[in-house]
């Protein structure tokens, strides 16, 4: 493909290298490349951060000037060489045992926040997806991204003079985005088709490049589609239930068909949230077509290669579709799979027999995957509780949902000053491989280096905020009048920015406005606040929270101390996390599955004050930051909210502020810097996307790929054999029962004896064990029982008597060497 053909006009020959740089989103996390685009058009670069748009709109005269600028061409050549060298260099993945056998890992997501230049994201889920692709590029993991190219994406926010949120939907002109049309082997625009009720939907395909990783995007704005269908990929999370269902069919079914059309073979399919679940059906259908197998066998083969990552902390957050709507849209799909519509809908129901139960996308994702994970340690426990209805008779602690705590792509979020400090301490390639030596290397930095970094970043934020406020006031046709200049580069700067939703409690800090005002206006040790965030246009409660903050910021007594910035996006987020001294996050536990905003301040020397929830429940200790909450759940209790607000004020008054303003003889706040050092050295590597992607690769992707290849070999022979074994075991599982069970004390041990009625179950297929719940923070116990003689059904076990015999219950589970994955296992049979 020749990208230059898509430019509105030719670029001078010496500058042709700019085209490939402009189309590679890697330039958005490469400070040196950013300087090139700043030279082309500083105003556009600062406002939009879109290299492709700059290349399309900068004057021909400016291009001709730069084509003759030797210094510019030298820098351009350096960046092109550096990029090529990086792509050719052996990667972390290439050295990983077993990696050579893995084909591709397809990462499906409803949104991707790879760059502000490609606005197809709304918040944390999309930013996480973008950071995942970037870290995969750094590490050389063979990922391909699959998503949707929205014509308008998520809404853009402004505030009126009364502080009310306004929503705007500007058009995403693809010619001004860093994407190119995908071409097929004949050079024609690549299309795929998805069947909707009564008509086919024709989808156009596009490609963005995220370093080594291609990101494939589909949109329905094809002239051959019906006018109503052309807008199906218009808004992100817009429209009603029917549009959401159609978008998810486009993503899952259309996305897999696009990979097939491009000839991209994938061992692993990574489902980023339940929105993507339809891919498991299309992947199975495709396998049926090529291998000539039934749907049951095809799902058994392909399921092993599917990984489902859930980000939802409450069951109400899952996408559910009414039974009649799901039946209308999935009937043809069921016919193509050779099953009834009700059999398909049962995959998305807790009770497969309940025809009135809505179709749950997360249930489909879980039933169609071989592995599943939550996005923090605490979220794992929450997710197991949420998915308990799908695992009858399985203890909550054994529900097969693991966890990989989220991380952020550090190079995307660090400031230039922070990058320089880290490079000197840990090397320029520190995020390209293992991170084990980084903590010790960073700890050697002196206090003055860290404090200088913090002050420089804070000054940069103050300048950026002043620039943004000027634009906001101009857009509202208002003037600051005699108001003081906003923010002070020497004052303790507190920030928070997030989606404004009630459960995130963004107004907890505003619980006592008078006390907050006293904090902000303290004569010797003041604070200043920088805030941003959007509420969903249909969330009236969230919009009121925005209004409360924006009106409070206009109070005369605190003017210049509190700033609410409009239109929270990636670019604004990057400015905030680079500059603030303290990041506050106050969700209602346990509704923050992970949270990543606070992770982004770590590399820049910012500290966290957060609810003990999500990632902070793993990260917090008194030497790295501050916390509120008691580690328990209190629901929507207003009295508890008030108590946590008081604790928040107490920490700011009694600990945070003194640590910042108490300076030694050299002017350095030693207690503050000590926390900075611990937070930066210990937490930055731990909560990086580098660590996250490496965990996914080793713990999930490699074993999933290996298992999927084994089942799929010889046109699915392994999967068919396993399906037959599981079907046979399922038919006879109900015959298993305990005939008798007894225990007696023998010295310092308990002797347990049980007698089973095996029915048609082969003893080789089962494991008989004693089960005991966890206690005192210890793990739960699973102790094997031994068969006394072949096929007798009699089992015994001797256990130390440090726990009462009544703590133990005998049970039967499927043997671990039967080839079944935990998500496929049959429910235990328990001693009554």
Are 113 and 574 a contacting pair, CB within 8 Å?
Answer: no
Of 673, 705, 578, 548, the residue nearest 99 (C-alpha): 705
Are 583 and 496 a contacting pair, CB within 8 Å?
Answer: yes
* Helix H or strand E segment including 436: none
Radius of gyration of the chain (CA): 29
Looking at residue 504, the DSSP 8-state letter turns out to be G
Cα atoms found within 13 Å of the Cα of residue 175, Cβ hemisphere only:
8
**Could you tell me where the beta strands, DSSP code E, fall in 396-481?**
402-403
Are 145 and 215 a contacting pair, CB within 8 Å?
Answer: yes
Centroid of chain to Cα 822: 24
607-626 pLDDT per residue, tens: 999 999 999 999 999 999 99
Are 447 and 673 a contacting pair, CB within 8 Å?
Answer: yes
CA distances from 564 to 64, 231, 366, 543, 593 (A): 41, 33, 40, 14, 26
- Is the alpha carbon torsion for 271, 272, 274, 276 positive or negative? negative
Of 303, 279, 299, 277, the residue nearest 288 (C-alpha): 299
Are 155 and 167 a contacting pair, CB within 8 Å?
Answer: yes
* Helix H or strand E segment including 321: strand 320-321
Are 610 and 586 a contacting pair, CB within 8 Å?
Answer: yes
Three-state DSSP at 524 gives: coil
DSSP string, 346-389: HTT-SSTT-TTSPEEHHHHHHHT-SEEEESSHHHHHHHHHHTGG
Q: At what angle do helices 447-475 and 570-579 cross, to 10 degrees?
A: 140
Are 585 and 492 a contacting pair, CB within 8 Å?
Answer: no
β-partners of residue 530 are: 495, 563
**Rounded mean pLDDT of the chain?**
93
What pLDDT score was predicted for residue 171?
92
- Is the alpha carbon torsion for 299, 302, 304, 309 positive or negative? negative
Q: What are φ and ψ of residue 729, in 5° steps?
A: -65, -40
In the predicted model, residues of the chain with pLDDT beneath 50 are 480
Are 70 and 78 a contacting pair, CB within 8 Å?
Answer: no
474-494 pLDDT per residue, tens: 766 555 455 678 999 999 999
Residues 740-767 as b or e (16 or more Cβ within 10 Å = b): eeebeeeeeebbbbbebebeebebebbb
Looking at residue 150, the DSSP 8-state letter turns out to be -
Q: Would you tell me how many other CB atoms lie within 10 Å of the CB of residue 478?
A: 10
Q: Set out the domains of the chain in order of their start, with CATH numbers.
A: 3-88 (no CATH), 103-406+703-708 (3.40.50.2000), 445-687 (3.40.50.2000), 734-830 (2.60.40)
Structure tokens at 481: 């009048």
What pLDDT score was predicted for residue 35?
83
Predicted model pTM: 0.95
What pLDDT score was predicted for residue 46?
83
What pLDDT score was predicted for residue 198?
92
* Helix H or strand E segment including 448: helix 447-475
Of 230, 344, 184, the residue nearest 277 (C-alpha): 344
Of 117, 122, 127, 124, the residue nearest 209 (C-alpha): 117
- Is the alpha carbon torsion for 761, 764, 768, 769 positive or negative? negative
Structure tokens at 640: 């508890």
* Helix H or strand E segment including 284: helix 278-291
Q: Give the separation between CA 797 and CA 752, rounded to whole angstroms.
A: 5
């Amino acid at each position: 493909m020749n990208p230059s053909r898509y430019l509105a006009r030719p670029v001078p020959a010496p500058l042709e290298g700019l085209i490939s740089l402009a189309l590679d989103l890697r330039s958005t996390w490469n400070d040196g490349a950013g300087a090139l685009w700043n030279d082309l058009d500083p105003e556009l670069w600062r406002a939009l951060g879109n290299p492709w748009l700059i290349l399309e709109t900068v004057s021909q005269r400016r291009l001709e000037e730069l084509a003759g600028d030797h210094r510019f061409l030298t820098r351009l050549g350096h960046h092109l060489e550096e990029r090529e060298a990086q792509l050719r260099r052996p990667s972390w993945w290439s050295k990983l045992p077993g990696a050579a056998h893995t084909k591709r890992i397809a990462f499906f997501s409803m949104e991707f926040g790879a760059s502000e230049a490609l606005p197809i994201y709304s918040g944390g889920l999309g930013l996480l997806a973008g950071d995942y692709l970037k870290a995969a590029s750094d590490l050389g993991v063979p990922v391909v991204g699959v998503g949707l190219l929205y014509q308008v994406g998520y809404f853009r926010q402004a505030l009126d003079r009364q502080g009310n949120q306004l929503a705007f939907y500007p058009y995403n002109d693809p010619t001004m985005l860093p994407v190119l049309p995908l071409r097929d082997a004949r050079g024609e625009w690549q299309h795929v088709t998805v069947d909707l009720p009564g008509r086919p939907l024709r989808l156009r395909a596009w490609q963005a490049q995220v370093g080594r990783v291609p990101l494939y995007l589909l949109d329905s704005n094809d002239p051959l589609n019906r006018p109503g269908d052309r807008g199906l990929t218009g808004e992100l999370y817009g429209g009603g239930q029917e549009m959401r269902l159609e978008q998810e069919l486009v993503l899952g079914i259309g996305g897999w068909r696009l990979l097939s059309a491009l000839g991209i073979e994938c061992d692993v399919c990574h489902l980023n949230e339940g929105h993507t679940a339809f891919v498991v059906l299309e992947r199975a259908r495709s396998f049926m077509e090529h291998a000539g197998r039934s749907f049951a066998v095809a799902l058994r083969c392909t399921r092993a290669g599917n990984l489902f990552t859930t980000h939802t902390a409450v069951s109400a957050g899952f996408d559910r579709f009414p039974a009649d709507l799901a039946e209308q849209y999935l009937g043809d799909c069921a016919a193509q799979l050779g099953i009834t519509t009700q059999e398909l809908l049962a995959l998305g129901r807790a009770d497969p027999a309940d025809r009135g139960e809505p179709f749950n996308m997360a249930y489909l994702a879980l039933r169609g995957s071989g592995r599943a994970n939550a996005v923090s340690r605490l979220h794992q426990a929450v997710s197991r509780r949420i998915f308990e209805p799908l695992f009858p008779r399985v203890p909550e602690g054994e529900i097969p949902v693991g966890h990989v705590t989220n991380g952020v792509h550090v190079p995307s979020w660090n400031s230039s000053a922070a990058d320089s400090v880290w490079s000197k301490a840990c090397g320029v390639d520190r995020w390209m491989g293992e991170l084990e030596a980084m903590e010790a290397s960073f700890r050697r930095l002196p206090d003055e280096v860290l404090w200088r970094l913090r002050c420089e970043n804070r000054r940069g934020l103050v300048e950026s905020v002043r620039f943004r406020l000027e634009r906001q006031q101009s857009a509202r046709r208002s003037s600051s009048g005699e108001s003081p200049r906003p923010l002070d580069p020497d004052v303790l700067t507190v920030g928070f920015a997030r989606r404004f939703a009630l459960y995130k409690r963004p107004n907890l800090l505003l619980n006592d406005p008078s006390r907050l005002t006293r904090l902000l206006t303290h004569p010797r040790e003041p604070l200043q606040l920088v805030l941003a965030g959007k509420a969903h246009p249909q969330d009236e409660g969230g919009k009121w929270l925005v209004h409360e903050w924006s009106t409070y910021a206009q109070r005369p007594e605190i003017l210049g101390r509190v700033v609410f910035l409009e239109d929270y996006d990636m670019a604004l987020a990057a400015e905030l996390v680079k500059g603030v001294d303290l990041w506050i996050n106050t969700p209602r536990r346990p509704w923050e599955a992970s949270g990543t905003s606070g992770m982004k301040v770590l590399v820049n020397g910012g500290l966290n004050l957060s609810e003990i929830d999500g990632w902070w429940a793993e990260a917090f200790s008194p030497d790295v930051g501050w916390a509120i909450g008691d580690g328990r759940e209190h629901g929507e209790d207003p009295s508890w909210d008030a108590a946590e607000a008081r604790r928040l004020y107490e920490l700011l008054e009694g600990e945070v502020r003194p640590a910042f303003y108490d300076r030694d003889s050299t002017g350095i706040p030693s207690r503050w810097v000590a926390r900075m050092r611990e937070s930066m050295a210990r937490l930055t590597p731990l909560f990086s996307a580098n660590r996250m992607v490496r965990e996914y690769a080793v713990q999930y992707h490699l074993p999933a790929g290996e298992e999927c290849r084994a089942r799929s070999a010889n046109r699915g022979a392994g999967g068919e054999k396993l399906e037959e074994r599981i079907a046979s075991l399922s038919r006879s599982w109900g015959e298993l029962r305990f005939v008798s069970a007894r225990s007696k004390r023998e010295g310092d041990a308990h002797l347990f004896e049980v007698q089973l009625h095996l029915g048609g179950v082969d003893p080789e297929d089962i494991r008989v064990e004693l089960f005991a719940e966890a206690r005192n923070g210890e793990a739960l116990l699973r102790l094997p029982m031994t068969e006394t003689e072949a096929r007798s059904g009699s089992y015994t076990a001797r256990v130390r008597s440090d726990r009462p015999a009544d703590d133990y219950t005998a049970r039967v589970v499927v043997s671990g060497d039967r080839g079944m994955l935990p998500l496929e296992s049959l429910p235990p049979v328990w001693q009554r």
